[in-house]
Structure 1
Amino acid sequence: MPVAVITDSTAYLPSGWAAKYGISVVPVQVVVAGQPYDETEDQQAERVVEALEQWHPVTTSRPSPERFFECFRAAQEAGATSIVVATLSAAMSATYESALLAAKECTIPVHVIDSRSIAMGLGFAVISGAEAAGLGANEFDVTSIIERRAEASQVFFYVDTLEYLRRGGRVSSTRAVVGQALKVKPLLQLVDGNVQQVDKVRTASKALARLADLAVESAGDAEVDIAVQHLSASERAQQLVDILQERLPAATIVQCPVGGVVGAHVGPGMVAVVVAPKVDWL
C-alpha cells in the first residue's frame, strides 16, 4: 500500500465499499441533544431523523486533527509511504482544515484535497483514486484523479422543506418561510462547494422527475456512474433509480442513504442524485 487513500464519512460510500477499495474513513460527528455520535455508528441517521421531527437540537462537528492523525499513523504503520486524503467541501465544513493540521504532523507526504463536493460526488472520486493507487499510481496521479473526478461530478438534491437548511444557516429565513407558504419543493445543486437553488416544483413526483431530467442532462453522452441517495426516503429513491435505469441504461447506478451530518441540514425526505463522469488517470 504505497499510497493510502482516506476520506471522511460524508462520502457515504455504500456498505462494504470502503473495505473493498481499501479506503480509510474518518468520521464526522453529529450531535443530537448534546450527545455526540460518530457518523460511522449504526442508527445515527435514524436518531437524527427522530430528533429533527421532534424539534430537538441537532448540530454537526468536524473531526479533530487528532482523529485524522490517528488514521494517518495507522496507514503509515500498515506500509503506506504517502497519503492522499479528500474531504467534503471546505465551504460547508472545517473538516478540510482538520486534515491540513494533521498532515503537518505526519512524517510521510500527505496530500489534502478540498473536493468541493459531498456524498458520492466525493465518494466516486476517492474510489477512482483508490483504484488507481491499487494499480500502482503514485501520490500525484492519485491526487489528480480525485480532484478531476470530484470537479467533474454534479450533485443535485431535493428537500421536502427549506426549514432544516434554514436552521443550519444554508438559506435565509425569509426564503424558507416563503417556500413553506407556497408549498414549494426546492431543487438544489452543489456549485463550487456551495448550495444553490436551481429550480422549484410543487409536488414530490415533479421533484423526482426534474431530478431525473437534471441527471440525464448532466450525463450527456459521457460514461458515468450515478448514485441516488436519500434520508428516510427509500421508496422515492427507488422510484428515481427506476426512472434513471430506463433513461440511462448504460450508466452504473447505485442507491445508498446519507448519514446524520447531511441529514441534520436537509431533513428527512431528501433525495439526491450524483452524476460522476469517469476520468482516465493514465
Structure 2
Amino acid sequence: MVRIVTDSVADLPKEYIEKYDITVVPLDVIIEGKTYKDGIDISTDVIYEKIKNGVLPKTSQVTPHDFVEVFDRLSKDGDEVLAVLISSKLSGTYNSALMAKNEMKDRKIEVIDSKSVTLGQGLLVIEAAKMAKDGKSLGEIKEKIEEKAEKIEHLIIFDTLEYVYKGGRISKVQYMLSNVLNLKIIMTLKNGELIVKDKVRGRKKAIKWIIDYINSNNLDLNNKLVGINHANDEEYLKELKSASTERFSPSETVVSHVGCAVATYSGLSAVGIYFERED
C-alpha cells in the first residue's frame, strides 16, 4: 500500500484528508517568539487578528526529524510512502524530506517537489491519493504526479503583496512595481517561484481577467479537477466560483480556506483558482 504525505501548505479540505487517508505534516508558525503547529494549535482567525494589529507571523519549514517520525510510522509495517510537498523554491520543507528519506534507506519512500503552493499543490496530492486508493504502484504514482506538477496553473488574486514580500517570497522589485493603491495583483507560479502576472483595478475586473485569461489561452476546465480557495474572504471565493462555473463544468471542484502558513503571506484578502493545463 502507498501512503500519501503532504505538508500543511497544501490547504486540503478536511473531508479530502479523511476520505483518502492523507497524512499532513504541519509547518511551524511563529508569532512573537512562540511557535505553533499550523492547523493544530493555532487557527487562521488568530493569524488575521495578528496581522490587523500589525504583528507579522513567520513560518518555519518542517524539520527532517518531523519527517523521519512520520515516514517511520507509515512505513514500519511494510507500506510505501510518497510525499508531495511545497515548491522547493518557496520552502526548505522538500529538502528536509529528502534528508529524512536518506536516513531511511531500508524503506520505500519517494519525495516530490510539487513546484506548487496552496491548493495547486493540494490538487496534486489528491490525484496521488486517488491513484494510491486505486492500487497504483509507488513508481506509477510518482511518475504521473511529477508529470502533472509541470502543468499546474495557479491564478491568485491578492489585495496586497506586502506580506509575501516581507516573508521573503518575492523580490523587492516585484513588490515595488505592484504596490499601487487599489490595484488587485494577479500572481502565478513559474518553475516553482511566485511571479506577478498582471495588475488590475477592482475585484470584479480581477475575476474577469482570470476568466478572459483562461478563455484566450484555450485552457479547458471542463471535466477537470479544479481547486478554488480563499483567505479571509468567502464572498470573493463565491464570486470567483460563480464566474468559473458559468463558463466551465469541472468534473470536481475542491473548495478550501487557506491554512495558517499560507495566511501569513496572503494577508487579509486573497482568492485563487488552480487546475491542470493540457500542454
* TM-score, with structure 2 as normaliser: 0.91
- Alpha-carbon distance between aligned partners in 2 of 1:78 and 1:234, rounded to the nearest angstrom: 42
Deviation at 1:104, TM superposition (A): 1.3
Deviation at 1:101, TM superposition (A): 0.8
Relative distance call for 1:168 and 1:134 in structure 2 (3 A) is same
Task: Tell me what 1:165 maps to.
Answer: 164
* Deviations 1:139-191 (CA, angstroms, capped at 9, x unpaired): 11011122122222101101101211221223344553554444321111111
- Alpha-carbon distance between aligned partners in 1 of 2:174 and 2:150, rounded to the nearest angstrom: 29
Report whether the alignment pairs 1:262 with 2:262: yes
Task: Tell me what 2:220 maps to.
Answer: 220
Deviation at 1:214, TM superposition (A): 3.3
The letter of the residue matching 1:100 is L
Quick check: 1:154–1:218 contact (8 Å CA) kept in 2?
no
CA RMSD of aligned residues (A): 2.1
Task: Tell me what 1:69 maps to.
Answer: 68
Task: Tell me what 2:29 maps to.
Answer: 30
- Alpha-carbon distance between aligned partners in 2 of 1:128 and 1:235, rounded to the nearest angstrom: 28
* Deviations 1:103-161 (CA, angstroms, capped at 9, x unpaired): 11223121111110012221121222122222221111011122122222101101101
Task: Tell me what 1:108 maps to.
Answer: 107
- Alpha-carbon distance between aligned partners in 2 of 1:223 and 1:249, rounded to the nearest angstrom: 6
The letter of the residue matching 1:199 is D
Task: Tell me what 2:92 maps to.
Answer: 94
- Alpha-carbon distance between aligned partners in 2 of 1:222 and 1:238, rounded to the nearest angstrom: 19
DSSP-derived class of the 2:82 partner: strand
Task: Tell me what 1:129 maps to.
Answer: 128
DSSP-derived class of the 2:98 partner: helix
Relative distance call for 1:214 and 1:251 in structure 2 (3 A) is farther
Which runs of 5 or more residues in structure 2 are unaligned?
none
The letter of the residue matching 1:271 is V
DSSP-derived class of the 2:110 partner: strand
Quick check: 1:10–1:118 contact (8 Å CA) kept in 2?
yes
Relative distance call for 1:7 and 1:44 in structure 2 (3 A) is same
* TM-score, with structure 1 as normaliser: 0.90
Q: Comparing 166-175 with 19-28, which one deviates more in the overlay?
A: 166-175
- Alpha-carbon distance between aligned partners in 2 of 1:219 and 1:86, rounded to the nearest angstrom: 25
DSSP-derived class of the 2:144 partner: helix
- Alpha-carbon distance between aligned partners in 2 of 1:144 and 1:186, rounded to the nearest angstrom: 34
Task: Report how many residues are paired.
Answer: 277
Task: List structure 1 segments (4+ residues) > 6 angstroms apart after TM superposition.
Answer: none
Task: Tell me what 2:149 maps to.
Answer: 150
Relative distance call for 1:78 and 1:215 in structure 2 (3 A) is farther
Percent of aligned pairs with the same amino acid: 29
Which runs of 5 or more residues in structure 1 are unaligned?
none
- Alpha-carbon distance between aligned partners in 1 of 2:150 and 2:85, rounded to the nearest angstrom: 13
Quick check: 1:28–1:39 contact (8 Å CA) kept in 2?
yes
Deviation at 1:28, TM superposition (A): 1.0
* Deviations 1:71-101 (CA, angstroms, capped at 9, x unpaired): 1111113541x21111100000000011011
- Alpha-carbon distance between aligned partners in 1 of 2:40 and 2:57, rounded to the nearest angstrom: 16
- Alpha-carbon distance between aligned partners in 1 of 2:30 and 2:214, rounded to the nearest angstrom: 33
